[in-house]
Chains A and B, each alone.
Chain A
């Protein structure tokens, strides 16, 4: 069954108190799993993803699979945030490649979270950008997000990229927040903002100071580097990941072709949407024609990680807005517009850091841009404690 919000939902409701919405790129046995793409048309998941299995085991029920952007890149066509905002789910799991879960939450006036990389198994996630993708989530409240994290942050022994270190513990409930934290803000951050964004940001800074945080100016790497590096590496990984969608065993297959080469070319040409085709084309360009640019991007990524680690050794958290005034993340068409819309959330995706979006703090007139906080790897439980501490103090709530 389907609706404007759900691409599929089961005819019978299962027991469980927490309602969870998923995307059709999260393998749920027997459910259609087209990952929002014709390239996986009629593909049905063979078994549960680890996360789905763990959610089913917890006191939760999966209410349905929402509509999603093609292969989880960006938010065009996604209804995950809407499912929570319209009270059809308590948590929506949204694949986070460049900030999708956090931006979807911001646009819906809700909290959104992306955990540290390698603390949640990716087995069964039909991904696109393996080195950056993560199970993200939009929740009605911070405790809902903590409950999901408590259920899914388990080493299943099947995702070998999971961290070898001890996993953070979410099972004790939300931690008591330590108030003495310092929050770093990039030098000249305001210069990058529009008038409306700047006004929202100033409100957020005042609110954080009033809440007892110490705000410190930090020297951040050049902002556009994050987007450029993400674009080059993301496109290359996407091109590899999507290479298997050939329409032979599942997915759309073009009719009336003379030989196998023609079949592959035409099927792929017809299956992918314009945005995805452009992205895959970029990836193929870097793979085959400009490998040096890819190698440079990998090197720059390494030095960005070093620089951010250095910053995080001086401050506890790094804050910014979550989303931008323009372009609109749900409507934008081109790749460069995507990278602009997700400019503030991309660094955490590129670095594999935990990040959270909080509503009702950084708003101006009728727009809530969202407060975005990034922290050190594996600081996830402390980050949720911080978020819960800030949550009831929101200055007027979402205006959306």
Chain B
């Protein structure tokens, strides 16, 4: 029998608002423990939560980016459970009346076929404190850091529309890109601003039944999510074949061992309407303003890039993935008439260099204007491709124009015909055996001469002119 997987994702995204969800404390991950706290997020007696307008706006913007219908009325509930990272005994979350419903994202399956995956709803909630487990001597101690307590989150709950690890990964990439575009979050699984839980069950192909699902947590990258789902499908298929029951529980992904391990039986506490935080009523005018402020989303941008700049779909996809990078690309090609060349340089050289340095395009000295003049210098044979790559790397770290760097470092290409001619003549004189080889029909000899000439000019010779000169002299 063949089986198919039924996969639904629950994605927590930490909004990048300056303050927390219900108080004015800074929402700044990475600060010293318990620095950003107040009576509200420490939940001291007598404190009252005050919903942040900015968090609501960012949440709405993110939901619009996921094609959701914003609900006219939404409300907070208390998700009741006790754990040391939640000392007030309940988490404020929207269970009965979520902020948004019925969203969707289109993904490309096998890089071609477009498929629409549904989002059941998106709700707002507050994050809990962070527990740090240490030992003092031999005694295990648990420390609580409240900096994260009360940070604004949205939870995106998908429909069980996903059928494979690849689809799940593709969905997450599209989701990440969409939310990053809205500016609501960085959506980094690695840094914890995006957390993904996957619910997975197995059924005989096409049977349409919903079997017991297993929840998998602790995936710290999109690749981890794919691996964990693939493992879980295999494990559950094994259970089916051995007629062992699949139990409702939660498992943790162990990236070292590349397997999921059981964690606890799934706990769901009651959700009681919160009597303190007022209901959220959204009117059409306000919503229309938010919609109008929404940037052009990647899906539309891809189409426009193909049409306006003649990019291939793959090129357009890469150019539109990151909002900042897409804006960088567009500014570069305002006065540059080879958009495909710019796109290829961004893909092959700029993106890998940024990745290696773990920084974004906004954190480097390189501007679109400088990038454009670098490309032009290469087009005009002022520098060769190898030198251009070197200059690009320096432009990331130095606040200088490409012209300045080329001058300083002596990257200017040797294109003076007289200079090159003397180099060519000297090399031919020094290597008479090479000339004989060439004349005997050995085409590799030309390469040999080119190498010698490049070495002699420290890689600065214009290769095109060099080749022409050698061919002429040897004729």
Q: Which of B42, B46, B78, B277 has the most CB of A within 10 A?
A: B46
Contacts of B39 in A (CB 8 A): 46-47
* Segment with Cβ contacts to A, from B81-89, B108-116, B363-371, B401-409: B81-89
> With A46-B39, A130-B276 in contact, is A287–B142 under 8 Å at CB?
no
Interface size class, chain A: 35 or more
In the assembled complex, which residues on chain B have CB atoms less than 8 Å from the CB atom of A240?
78, 80, 89-90, 272
State the majority secondary structure of interface residues on B.
loop
Question: What residues of A have a CB within 8 angstroms of the CB of B273 in the complex?
Answer: 298
CB <8 Å contact, B278 and A161? yes
B91 nearest CB across to chain A (Å): 11
Report the nearest B residue to A129, measured CB to CB.
B275
B286 within 8 A of A: no
Q: Which of A40, A239, A287 contacts B45 (CB 8 A)?
A: A40
In Å, the complex CA distance between A33 and B39 comes to 15
Stretch from A120-128, A139-147, A356-364, A374-382 contacting the other chain:
A120-128
Interfacial chain A residues near B88, Cβ < 8 Å: 243-244
**CA–CA, A123 and B38, complex, Å:** 14
**A182, CB-defined interface residue at 8 Å:** no
CB of A216, distance to nearest CB on chain B (Å): 33
**Is A249 a contact partner of B87 (Cβ separation < 8 A)?**
yes
B-contact bits for A32-54, CB 8 A (1 contact / 0 none)? 01010000100101110100000
A160 to B142 Cα, complex, angstroms: 35
Instruction: Determine the distance from Cα of A122 to Cα of B90 in the docked complex, in whole angstroms.
Output: 20
User: Do residues B142 and A126 form an inter-chain contact, with CB atoms below 8 A?
Assistant: no
- Taking CB atoms and an 8 Å cut-off, the chain B residues in 26-50 that contact chain A are 39, 42-50
Question: Whole-angstrom distance between the alpha carbons of A21 and B416 in the complex?
Answer: 97
Q: Is the CB of B87 within 8 A of A237?
A: no
| Interchain CB contact under 8 A, B275 and A158 | no
Contact call A159/B46, Cβ cutoff below 8 A: no
Q: Does B385 contact A (CB under 8 A)?
A: no
Residues in A227-248 with C-beta less than 8 Å from chain B: 236-237, 239-240, 243-244, 246, 248
- Does B376 interact with chain A (Cβ within 8 Å)? no
Tell me, in angstroms, the Cα distance from A156 to B39 when the chains sit together.
17
Q: How far is the CA of A35 from the CA of B90 in the complex (A)?
A: 21
Contacts of B43 in A (CB 8 A): 244
Residues of A within 8 A of B276 (CB): 130, 160-161
Chain A 115-139 interface 0/1 with B at a Cβ cutoff of 8 Å (1 = within): 0000000111111001100000000
Q: How far is the CA of A35 from the CA of B45 in the complex (A)?
A: 9
Q: A264 on the interface (CB 8 Å rule)?
A: yes
Of all chain A residues, the one with the shortest Cβ separation from B80 is A287
B84 touches A260 (CB 8 A): yes
Would you call B45 and A43 a contact (CB within 8 A)?
yes
Interface residues in B258-290 (C-beta closer than 8 Å to A): 269-270, 272-273, 275-278
Pair A160/B50 contact, Cβ less than 8 Å: yes
The reply to whether the CB of B246 lies closer than 8 angstroms to some CB of chain A is no
- B87 and A236 contacting across the interface, CB-CB below 8 Å: no
Q: Of A131, A159, A243, A260, which one neighbours B142 at CB under 8 angstroms? A: A260
Q: How far is the CA of A258 from the CA of B273 in the complex (A)?
A: 35
Contact call A124/B269, Cβ cutoff below 8 A? no
Chain A CB within 8 A of B51 CB = yes
Name the distance in Å between B135's Cβ and chain A's nearest Cβ.
15
CA distance A159 to B276 in the complex (A): 9
B196-230 Cβ-contact flags toward A at 8 Å (1 or 0): 00000000000000000000000000000000000
A288 and B269 contacting across the interface, CB-CB below 8 Å = yes
Contact A126 B87 (CB under 8 A): no
Q: Give Cα A121–Cα B78 distance, bound, in whole angstroms.
A: 22
- Nearest-neighbour CB distance to chain B for A244, whole angstroms, equals 4
- Which listed residue, B48, B50, B84, touches A122 by the CB 8 Å rule? B48
Given known A-B contacts A46-B39, A240-B78, A130 and B270 have beta carbons under 8 A apart: no
A residues sitting closer than 8 Å to B (CB atoms) are: 25, 27, 33, 35, 40, 43, 45-47, 49, 122-127, 130-131, 158-161, 236-237, 239-240, 243-244, 246, 248-249, 260, 264, 287-288, 291, 294, 298
Known: A35-B45, A160-B278, A161-B48. 20 other contacts (CB 8 A): A27-B46, A49-B46, A123-B46, A123-B47, A123-B48, A126-B45, A130-B275, A158-B50, A161-B275, A161-B278, A237-B272, A237-B275, A240-B80, A243-B82, A243-B89, A244-B87, A248-B87, A264-B82, A287-B269, A288-B270
18 pairs from A and B in contact (CB 8 Å cutoff)? A27-B46, A33-B46, A45-B46, A46-B44, A123-B48, A131-B275, A160-B276, A161-B275, A161-B278, A237-B272, A240-B272, A243-B82, A244-B45, A244-B87, A244-B88, A246-B82, A287-B269, A288-B269
Q: Which 3 A-B pairs have the closest CB atoms?
A: A243-B89, A131-B275, A126-B45
